[in-house]
């Protein structure tokens, strides 16, 4: 499948998943919904790999990296994402995920030692300015709410969303180490989702939350869409893109996804951004596009040859 088509599929799906998450909020605790989603996604992927005749076991060296990547990407990131959407409009969370374009090279610098360009620093500064504009009025209202004795839920949602982007960016960088040890994208995704599911299940047990059986058609529709399309198909496209073009260029998806999410929020959540919000989103997404024009550093030799195309289909 061409890289351009993989990019389009992942962008369209992830642009809608931020809204689809809202279908699962309410009766079922957010962390429990994450367990349901990735348990189902992992089972689908393991079945897919088994039908293809793949050996399901991984070496311990590969499994260690897969465990770390899975806990970050499918565990911590999604607990924070689901929880944040209790307090923030889904479009705002999607815009914050555009910041992964800057988190990825920063974390890659720390973990893999890849160099950082001046454009990344400059564009990152502009993006932060955009985020400040985007949330300026809401943060002011939240602060006044806290001073008046309120709980400031908006600030909590903002912190959770930022934590989600950092955890997800860390997981994206670790994908490089996973692929050095195990080239099978679908199998490592299956294991990563399983480890993420187990981590979140432990969190649910430790926090005293209950595994509630959802009853609404709305919830089940959201779960199936998020598990099959948002997790299996979109992540398979994204991780294959990381293999082919590297994490920095693959995160161009972070420019397209928020635009789709904002349009859906305006239509389905009655989101009405003002002048400051529009300006903030324009600065943030414009800086992301500018940063991604930076040439990608040379990739490790082990990653130059992409996985055979049949394994990503």
Cα angle, residue 294 at apex, residues 290 and 299 outer, rounded to 5°: 140
pLDDT in tens, 111-158: 777 776 776 677 767 777 777 777 777 777 777 777 777 676 888 888
Which helix H or strand E contains 193, and what residues bound it?
A: helix 185-207
**What is the per-residue pLDDT across 43-73, written as a single tens digit (0 to 9) for each?**
999 999 999 888 998 888 889 999 999 999 9
Of residues 76 and 8, more confidently modeled: 76
Say what the pLDDT of residue 248 is.
Answer: 63
pLDDT tens by residue, 192-207: 999 999 999 999 999 8
Residue 136, both tokens = 């300026």
Cα separations in angstroms, 242 against 130, 163, 239, 282: 27, 22, 5, 26
pLDDT at 196: 94
pLDDT, position 298: 46
- Tell me what pLDDT residue 296 has: 47
What pLDDT is stored for residue 309 in this prediction? 37
221-233 pLDDT tens trace: 999 999 999 888 8
Neighbours of 144 (CB within 10 A): 11
- SS3 letters across 81-139: HHHHCCCCCHHHHHHHHCCHHHHHHHHHHHHHCCCCCHHHHHHHHHHHHHHHHHHHHHH
Residue 241 in 3-state DSSP?
A: helix
User: Can you give the pLDDT at residue 293?
Assistant: 62
CA-CA distance, 267 to 282, in Å (whole number)?
19
> Cα dihedral sign for 102, 105, 107, 109?
negative
Q: What pLDDT was estimated at residue 120?
A: 67
pLDDT in tens, 231-288: 888 888 887 887 777 766 676 777 778 778 888 888 887 777 778 778 877 877 777 6
């Amino acid at each position: 499948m061409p890289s351009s088509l993989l990019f389009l599929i992942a962008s369209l799906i992830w642009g809608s998943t931020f809204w689809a998450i809202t279908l699962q909020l309410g009766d079922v605790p957010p962390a429990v919904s994450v367990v349901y989603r990735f348990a189902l996604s992992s089972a689908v992927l393991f079945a897919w790999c088994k039908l293809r005749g793949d050996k399901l076991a991984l070496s311990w060296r590969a499994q260690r990296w897969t465990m770390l990547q899975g806990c970050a990407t499918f565990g911590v990131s999604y607990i924070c994402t689901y929880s944040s959407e209790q307090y923030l409009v889904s479009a705002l969370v999607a815009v914050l995920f555009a910041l992964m374009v800057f988190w990825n090279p920063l974390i890659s610098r720390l973990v893999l030692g890849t160099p950082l360009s001046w454009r990344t620093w400059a564009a990152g500064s502009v993006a932060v300015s955009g985020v400040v504009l985007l949330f300026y009025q809401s943060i002011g209202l939240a602060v006044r709410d806290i001073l008046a004795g309120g709980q400031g839920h908006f600030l909590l949602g903002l912190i959770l969303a930022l934590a989600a982007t950092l955890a997800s960016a860390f997981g994206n960088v670790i994908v490089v180490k996973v692929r050095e040890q195990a080239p099978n994208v679908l199998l490592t995704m299956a294991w990563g989702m399983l480890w993420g599911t187990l981590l979140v299940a432990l969190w649910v047990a430790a926090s005293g939350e209950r595994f509630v059986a959802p009853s609404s058609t709305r919830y089940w529709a959201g779960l199936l869409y998020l598990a099959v399309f948002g997790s299996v198909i979109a992540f398979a496209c994204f991780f294959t893109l990381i293999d082919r073009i590297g994490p920095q260029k693959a995160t161009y998806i972070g420019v397209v996804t928020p635009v789709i999410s904002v349009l859906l929020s305006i239509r389905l959540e009655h989101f009405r951004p003002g002048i400051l919000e529009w300006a903030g989103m324009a600065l943030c997404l414009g800086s992301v596009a500018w940063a991604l024009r930076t040439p990608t550093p040379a990739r490790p030799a082990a990653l130059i040859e992409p996985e055979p195309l049949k394994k990503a289909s």
